Structure 1
Amino acid sequence: MPGRRSLLAATITLPSLALPARAQGGFPSRPIRVLVAFAPGGQSDTVIRLLAPKLSEALGQPLVVENRPGAGGSIAGGAVAQAPADGHTLLFDSFGFLIVPFLVKGLTYNHDKAFAPVAQAVSAPYVLVVRKGFPARTLAEYVDYARKNPGLAYGTPGTGTVGHLAGALLASRAKVQLEHIPYRGGPESARDIAAGNLDSAIGTANSFRPLIEDGRAIGIALTSGRRMGSLASLPTIAESGYPGFDLTSWNAMFAPAATPAPVIAKLEAAMRTALQDETVQKRLKDAGNEPNFEGAAAFADRIRRERAVVKQIVQETGIKPE
């Protein structure tokens, strides 16, 4: 009889214990929505669309990419923060993810606690460019012009982006007055540069390399600490008179904060697999990126370090929320 009782208990208990494992093991059970924080054709959009086929292949479900531009990425971020934490709604964002809490007013969610890092995909510098015909070809000439013409405008992909922060930091270090003009994404500012309607801009190589190559814009300097990407022939701001200047962007995947660890692990593994594909690597490099996988734990550490750097820069520049 004791043996029968033990067997009966095991029969009743084991299925209930197995249910969570089966539920997590079934992820993903439907298409995965990836919300992109910026406009179609921009850096973040380009990177995720290059990765999407291989991510879909690795996960066994389609990835549906949706662009939700605006407010430095906080519109897309807010939608993902409020989504079910089951891995089927994700955020694909940039370094601006770290800047949003400091510079975007009226957030409807706790930005620092709303997300779980999944993986970093690429690193990429931003580039300072000027329109064709602008009377500057070097950073020294650009700064000299800004001193003589206070309020020189620079466009960026939006409030709370690397371009926004880089312009504020350059203005602070060079002791000049620059006027920030936020756009809804890099392609929009690139169009105004090409048309001659904007004097300068700070954006990604993905947005500005074609204009630089065909002479519709002049590349001045990279925001990264070292020369990198498809515009590595340009000097950095750091080597052009401002040592230590380093704002290197990245693109990465995030999930809602309460997403189960096994789901995060499966998404992380899919990103690693996608980035190992040679064709994907080449296309990412052609778009001005350095494929640079970093898993959830290491990327979470990076976020903690770089958030402290952003806070310091915001304090140094006195930049205000918009």
Structure 2
Amino acid sequence: MPGRRMLLGGALAAAAIRRAGAQSWPDRPIRIIAPYAPGGQSDTVARLLSPKLAESLGQSIVIENRTGAGGSIGAGIVAQSPPDGYTLLFESFAFLVVPFIVKGLTFDYETAFAPVGQAVALPYVLVVKRDFPAKDMAGFLAHAKAHPGVSYGTPGVGSLGHLAGALLENRAGIKLEHVPYRGGAESARDLAAGTIDAAIGTANTFGPLVQEGKVRGLALTSGERRGSLSHLPTIAESGFPGFDLTSWNGLFAPAGTPAPVMARLEAALAHATRDPATREKLAMTGNDAVTEGSAAFTARIQRERVVVKQIVAQTGIRAE
């Protein structure tokens, strides 16, 4: 009995220390891992949100780019970090795809993270280089059928762009060559230079190039026209009904992060996404600000994981 009382007392003391730590959190800067290249979608949105996150939390926010393997390198860093709220992940739709196509992961995406909330929603866009012979979606498909191996860049293996390209191949009966990059900004650079034929990326990445006439926008991956490139048709209305892939960005903490810390993070993210000036800046980059808390975001991830699994099985998409 004395031994049991000592163990119980120790457990209660440890719990009290954890509660006290959570109540004083944060007492130092917070690191957010953006697992893609600087200047791309995830990096841009994280940096637009960070001032208001810092304002709400009372600590500075440090954005750190750790790229590679479809975002799994950066995600792995967060998965292996202490669940204390000081190392977070700012991820994209690839969060759902990578576990199904990348082999040898040292962590489980489904159990290693606690979703804090969704920040933005956005469609991806299919764009081609300026001198590509096709002027519209019908022309692109005709050219791709006549010339198998049209190259398209994406922000990486497992990105929504990769998934959309594979699904388009499957439904249109064409063969494309996937060229994965470490982020959307790098694929945009090569597309503008004519190194690759096409790309599937965000309006944030390609919108300015479309407006400047350096690349040509063909179609959106979302089920309806939305965002800053809403003048473009959707792939769905271009002969593929039901084609609907809309990306998002959201904030994640390591699994096991204390509930009080999660609540502070959720409130801080809502503070940032509801700020009128921040929403305007996000809209200018093609993003629809979303205030979706932990419970709703978790439910979304669970629903969309089922859809992604089906598409991966249907298309045979895999890491190159």
Counterpart of 1:3 in structure 2 is none
Decide which moves more: 154-163 or 19-28.
19-28
The alpha carbon displacement at 1:319 in A equals 1.4
Counterpart amino acid of residue 250 in structure 1: W
Q: Please, what TM-score do these two structures have when normalized by structure 2?
A: 0.94
1:254 is matched with which residue: 239, 244, 252? Answer: 252
Distance 1:121 1:132 in 2: 32
Paired residues for 1:134-283 under 5 Å: 134-283=132-281
Amino acid across the alignment from 2:229:
L
- Hey, what's the Cα distance between the residues in 1 that align with 2:297 and 2:30? 22
Cα contact 2:184–2:202 (8 A) shared by 1: yes
Q: How many Å separate the matches in 2 of 1:98 and 1:303?
A: 7
- 2:44 is equivalent to residue 46 of structure 1: yes
1:30 is the counterpart of 2:41: no
1:313 maps onto 2:278 in alignment: no
Letter paired with 2:200 = I
Q: How big is the shift at 1:18? A: 5.2
Deviation (angstroms), 1:105: 2.2
Note if contact 1:38-1:68 (Cα within 8 Å) is conserved in structure 2.
yes
- Give the Å deviation of 1:198: 1.0
User: What one-letter code is carried by the residue in structure 2 that aligns with 1:255?
Assistant: A
Q: Once the 2 structures are TM-superposed, how far is the Cα of residue 199 of structure 1 from its aligned partner? A: 0.6
Q: Which whole-Å CA distance do the structure 2 matches of 1:16 and 1:218 have between them?
A: 59
Query: Counterpart of 2:263 in 1: which secondary structure?
Result: helix
3-state DSSP of counterpart to 2:109: coil
Q: Residue 93 of structure 1: which of 91, 94, 98 is its match? A: 91
Q: Distance in 1 between matches of 2:269 and 2:62?
A: 16
State how far apart, in whole Å, the 2-side matches of 1:140 and 1:36 are: 36
Which stretches in structure 2 are left out of the alignment for 5+ residues? Answer: 1-11
Residue 17 (structure 1) shift: 7.4
RMSD: 1.3
Q: Does 1:287 align with 2:288?
A: no
State the alpha-carbon separation in 1 of the partners of residues 14 and 314 from structure 2: 56
* 8 Å Cα contact 1:86-1:260 kept in structure 2: yes
2:126 maps to 1:128 = yes
**What is the 5 A alignment of 1:41-80?**
41-80=39-78
Give the share of equivalent positions with the same residue, in percent: 61
What are the superposed Cα offsets for residues 99-144 of structure 1, whole Å, 9 maximum, x if unpaired?
0101222211112110000010000110000000111111111111
Secondary structure of 1:112 counterpart: helix
Cross-structure match for 1:102 = 100
Alpha-carbon shift at residue 22 of structure 1 (Å): 2.3
Superposed CA offset, 1:219-260 (max 9, x none): 000001111111111111011110000110000000001111
Q: Show the counterpart of 2:8.
A: none
Deviations 1:69-126 (A, max 9, x none): 1111100100000000001000001001000101222211112110000010000110
Q: Contact between 1:131 and 1:199, CA under 8 Å: does it hold in 2? A: yes
Compared CA separation, residues 17 and 75, structure 1 to 2 (3 A): closer
Aligned length: 309
Amino acid at match of 2:189: R
Amino acid at match of 2:97: I
Per the normalisation by structure 1, the TM-score is 0.94
Pair 159,17 (structure 1): closer, same or farther in 2 beyond 3 Å: closer
Equivalent residue letter for 1:143? L
